[in-house]
Every structure is written in structure tokens, then in C-alpha cells.
Chain A
């Protein structure tokens, strides 16, 4: 009888470990910054638009976990210290084995500060205010940075 309980406990632990080891179903494979002509740059001036382009991939192995794909919310934010200067977002669905490219333009105002700006990309199943306890990240955080000059 004792060994039966031990076996059940071991089985449950193994299942939990396997679930956690899966990681996130979506990978942010690239985050690049470009100008309006499509040239990749990481230095911009005030008055310019920074185009942030992201590439998301869902490995084929996740087909068995979600045959209908993953519906996601992708958020791209631009930060100067603790100030969120810009945000673009999109909602889409990605199938296992698929790659999605999304880009958004962020205007650097003439009144914005000079220096290093951090760009952070998040992929969630929704906003915390929408999902509550059912909120889940679908990819790890990806970051890049640019420099803003006069």
C-alpha cells in the first residue's frame, strides 16, 4: 500500500517536471530596428520614426499541444529609464511550424530625451486585466536598444 502512494507521487512529480521543462510555445527569434527606408539601424535622431520588426516562431513539436495554434498578444514597448515612451501591439494566431513577422513604427518626438532607449517585446495570451488568473506568457522577454541623438 505504501509503495502504491509513493508510485503515484512519483508519477505526478514526473508529469509536473515534464510540463515545466517544455518552456514557452513561441520564440521571439529576432528583434531589429530599422528606419523608414528599411535600413537596419540602431542610432536615430529626434523627429525620426523607429520601425521595430519582430519575428515569432512556433516550433512544429507544439502541434500536439495546440492543434489550433496559439492566439497571442504581442506588445512592443519603448523605454527611457522608467518612462514608457511608445507602445505598439497586435493580436494574432500562430500555428505550430509557422513564423510571423510584425513591425510597428515608433515616433521619437522632438521633446523626447537623448540617450539610450530600451525596446522590450512581450508575447502573452492577453492582458492581465483581461485574463486574470488565466494569464500566461507565451514567449520569453526579448530586448534590444537604440541610441537617440540630436
Chain B
């Protein structure tokens, strides 16, 4: 009797875990800007076929790829075009065994430079070298005259 309940309980637990299974999605970074890239890490079942789809804030398809997981994990990267629109992007992942899941990341404007562009000012170095060169020439000419 006890064994029967144990087997039924195990079967129920297995059915529930299968029903609730989802691939895990990790997006790095979660906030970035056009011209950079993101990495999507997926965890599911070893060797299963997964599909990845990215849609922009207007629901346009911008990326789609199919991969086979290796060791239960898979990684894809997307080089974000400079012309990509800003806002929240949705990543859809569906796997043939583990099921489906979604995640989001955000594109923000490129950070503006504060104080303008920075150039290394070589003027002091050039001035110093010029003074030393002049002094060396003067010393050399004095030495040659004495001879």
C-alpha cells in the first residue's frame, strides 16, 4: 500500500515538474545602446533544439536563430545595428523539450561625452624639448668656439 502511494506520488511530482519546466534566459547586459552587442545564455535540456527570436518595441522581427544546446546550455550573441530603435526588446525562447520563456532588455541612447572630447596636450612636452635642444646647441657652439 505504501509503495503504491510512493509510486503515484513520484509520478505526480514528475508530471508537475515537466509541466512547469521552462528554459532559463540570461541576457547580458540588460541595458545597452545601438552599436554594441548582447549575449543570451539559455539553460535547458542537453542536445535539445531551441529557437531564439528578438522583437523590437514595434514588434518587428530583428533576430531569429536556432541552436542545439550542449551540456544543457547554449549561448548566442547579437550585434545590435547602429540604426536599432530605442526601447524595450523582447526575447522569445522556445525549446523542444523544456518549453518556452521570455525576457527583455532595453536600448537607451548612447551616453553623451561630458566636457567634449579629450585630447592629450603635447604642448608642454614639445616646449621643454625645444628649450633643451636650444640649450644643447648653444653649449655645443660655445664648446666648438673655445677649441
Q: When the two chains form the complex, which single residue of A77, A120, A122, A133 contacts B99, counting CB atoms closer than 8 Å?
A: A133
B132 interfacial contact with A, CB 8 Å: no
A132 interfacial contact with B, CB 8 Å: yes
Residue tally, chain A, CB below 8 Å to B: 24
A150 interfacial contact with B, CB 8 Å: no
Residues of B within 8 A of A5 (CB): 4, 7
Contacts A2-B3, A84-B63, A131-B94 given; does A124 touch B51 at CB 8 Å = yes
Q: When the two chains form the complex, which single residue of B3, B68, B77 contacts A141, counting CB atoms closer than 8 Å?
A: B68
Shortest Cβ distance from B39 into A: residue: A82
A38 interfacial contact with B, CB 8 Å: no
A106 interfacial contact with B, CB 8 Å: no
Q: When the two chains form the complex, which single residue of A2, A75, A128 contacts B100, counting CB atoms closer than 8 Å?
A: A128
Residues of A within 8 A of B90 (CB): 129
A110 interfacial contact with B, CB 8 Å: no
**Inter-subunit contact B53/A129 (CB<8 Å):** yes
**Inter-subunit contact A77/B64 (CB<8 Å):** yes
Residues of A within 8 A of B37 (CB): 82
A137 interfacial contact with B, CB 8 Å: yes
| Closest CB in chain A relative to B97 CB, distance in Å | 9
Contacts A122-B51, A127-B53, A137-B49 given; does A132 touch B100 at CB 8 Å = yes
**Inter-subunit contact B100/A135 (CB<8 Å):** yes
| Closest CB in chain B relative to A138 CB, distance in Å | 10
B72 interfacial contact with A, CB 8 Å: no
B107 interfacial contact with A, CB 8 Å: no
**Inter-subunit contact B51/A137 (CB<8 Å):** yes
B46 interfacial contact with A, CB 8 Å: no
**Inter-subunit contact B94/A133 (CB<8 Å):** yes
**Inter-subunit contact B63/A128 (CB<8 Å):** no
Contacts A120-B65, A122-B66 given; does A129 touch B99 at CB 8 Å = no
Query: B92-120 CB contact bits vs A (8 Å, 1 = yes)?
Result: 11101001100000000000000000000
Shortest Cβ distance from B38 into A: residue: A82
**Docked pose: A30 CA to B93 CA in angstroms:** 27
**Inter-subunit contact A127/B63 (CB<8 Å):** no
**Interface pairs A-B: 6 shortest CB-CB:** A135-B94, A128-B94, A128-B92, A82-B77, A122-B66, A83-B79
